[in-house]
């Protein structure tokens, strides 16, 4: 997002014009920024070794975004059979999709097998059931829990000892017994410790644990280090130094492959890193409400559309794109849901009037994909800015959408 002659633009197109054309609330995505992030991460590692990025589509599943990453050469990281089906509909080949669920039934695993995708198993029970049914006829990946506490928030820290994700690194002897008993082929090892990890050392420590474990699996084709790269949320905020990580982890991975006797593929599953700062959320100010202590800017949206500030305590910069100059005031920005849905307390921005459009930054990842119909509100439309043009890629919901699957019996 750039300010050009007192007018905020995304991909060269006026934000106010976009808001007027498609109305608010509205999600807007910048395809060029997604491409830049993908290239930045891929280049950081491809200098050293063979790298495969699998876009974690749970961050943003619009089929046009999936097709964009497919054209860039990305694979796809999925966590449900529905995401597998979406990926195939978007044009991904089965061998470029990895299915990494947790707490699903063996029946859903079998559906993924029928699709021919890579299977990543994260518990001993399913691993044993899989081995009994498929033996060595279908290779699998094993997700390891390294017992590392990492991530910017407890809700997004998934590699600690109490996490539901992965098979404990201390249970690997049990894994080997299941594999040997059922003559299974393990083609990959995987870990994911959390999101918003700043310290490169956290990645390197986890990598060391995973590579030490990998030495005992003799038929690997790849090692998947998950993701968790931090993106900046505020001006002058810091992010994961992927270039430094690429140098250090790349060197370590090359050394491992030499000892292993085979060149393996280094895999990652970035989601937020690729799409977070490519997304913007536009909302209109319904009311400016002054109380004895606070001035509220009440919007035509709520946590039904953007739940991250309430769920994760995440910070999103908020800009008044209708007023780009003049005096600033302090506002608390809230929604229209009958809950305390606050997007930001005591935010300084150019004076707000009713009817102004506010723009939330970093709204590309886990925003629309976590939206709901709470309070029977319609989910918003989505627009993609691609090569200087704006495209409607999801229509705003209607009353028909709210009642589509209901069955009237009274």
pLDDT along the chain (410 residues), means of 10: 91 97 98 97 91 97 98 98 98 98 96 98 96 98 81 46 83 96 97 73 86 95 91 86 90 94 96 97 98 96 96 94 94 96 96 98 97 97 97 98 96
Rounded alpha-carbon distances, angstroms, from residue 179 to 126, 176, 183, 262, 395: 12, 5, 6, 21, 48
Q: Indicate the DSSP class of residue 142.
A: E
* Cβ contact 211:252 at 8 Å: yes
Among the four given CATH numbers 2.60.120.10, 3.30.1050.10, 2.40.37.10, 3.40.640.10, the one describing domain 2-29+276-403 = 2.40.37.10
pLDDT at 165 (0 to 100): 85
Rounded alpha-carbon distances, angstroms, from residue 234 to 31, 225, 319: 21, 27, 12
Distance CA 9, CA 6 (A): 10
In sequence order, which residues have a C-beta less than 8 Å from that of residue 6 and are 6 or more positions away? 324, 325
pLDDT at 194 (0 to 100): 65
Distance CA 222, CA 266 (A): 6
* CATH 3.30.420.40, applies to 31-274: no
Distance CA 87, CA 66 (A): 7
Do 2-29+276-403 and 31-274 share a fold? no
pLDDT at 199 (0 to 100): 74
Q: What are phi and psi of 110, to 5 degrees?
A: -65, -35
Distance CA 27, CA 18 (A): 10
pLDDT at 229 (0 to 100): 87
| Domain range annotation of the chain | 2-29+276-403, 31-274
pLDDT at 331 (0 to 100): 98
pLDDT at 228 (0 to 100): 83
Give the residue numbers annotated as catalytic, written as ranges.
338
């Amino acid at each position: 997002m750039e300010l050009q002659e007192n007018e905020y633009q995304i991909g060269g197109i006026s934000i106010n014009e976009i808001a007027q054309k498609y109305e608010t609330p509205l999600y807007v995505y910048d395809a060029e920024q997604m491409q830049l992030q993908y290239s930045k991460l891929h280049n950081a590692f491809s200098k050293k070794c063979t790298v495969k990025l699998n876009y974690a589509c749970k961050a943003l599943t619009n089929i046009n975004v999936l097709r964009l990453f497919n054209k860039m050469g990305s694979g796809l990281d999925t966590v449900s059979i529905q995401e597998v089906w979406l990926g195939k509909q978007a044009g991904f080949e089965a061998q470029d999709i990895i299915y990494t669920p947790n707490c699903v039934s063996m029946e859903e695993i079998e559906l993924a097998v029928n699709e021919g995708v890579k299977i990543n198993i994260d518990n001993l029970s399913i691993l044993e059931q899989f081995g009994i049914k498929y033996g060595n006829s279908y290779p699998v990946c094993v997700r390891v829990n390294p017992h590392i506490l990492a991530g910017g928030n407890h809700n997004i820290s998934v590699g600690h000892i109490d996490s539901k994700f992965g098979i404990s690194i201390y249970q690997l002897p049990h894994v080997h017994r299941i594999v040997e008993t059922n003559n299974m082929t393990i083609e990959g090892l995987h870990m994911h410790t959390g999101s918003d990890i700043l310290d490169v050392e956290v990645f390197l420590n986890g990598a060391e644990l995973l590579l030490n474990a990998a030495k005992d699996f003799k038929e690997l084709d790849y090692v998947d280090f998950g993701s968790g790269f931090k993106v900046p949320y505020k001006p002058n905020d810091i992010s994961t130094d992927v270039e430094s990580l690429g140098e250090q982890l790349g060197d370590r991975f090359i050394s491992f492959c030499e000892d292993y006797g085979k060149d393996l593929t280094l895999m990652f599953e970035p989601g937020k890193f690729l799409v977070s700062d490519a997304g913007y959320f536009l909302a209109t100010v319904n009311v400016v409400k002054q109380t004895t202590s606070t001035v509220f800017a009440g919007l035509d949206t709520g946590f039904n559309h953007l739940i991250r500030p309430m769920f994760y305590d995440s910070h999103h910069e908020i800009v008044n794109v209708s007023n780009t100059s003049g005096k600033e005031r302090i506002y608390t920005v809230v929604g229209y849901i009958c809950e305390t849905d606050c997007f930001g307390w005591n935010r300084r921005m150019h004076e707000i009037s009713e009817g102004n459009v506010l723009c939330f930054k970093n709204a590309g990842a886990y925003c629309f994909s976590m939206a709901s119909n709470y309070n029977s509100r319609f989910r918003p439309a989505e627009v993609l800015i691609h090569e200087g043009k704006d495209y409607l890629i999801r229509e705003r919901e209607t009353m028909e959408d709210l009642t589509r699957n209901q069955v009237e019996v009274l």
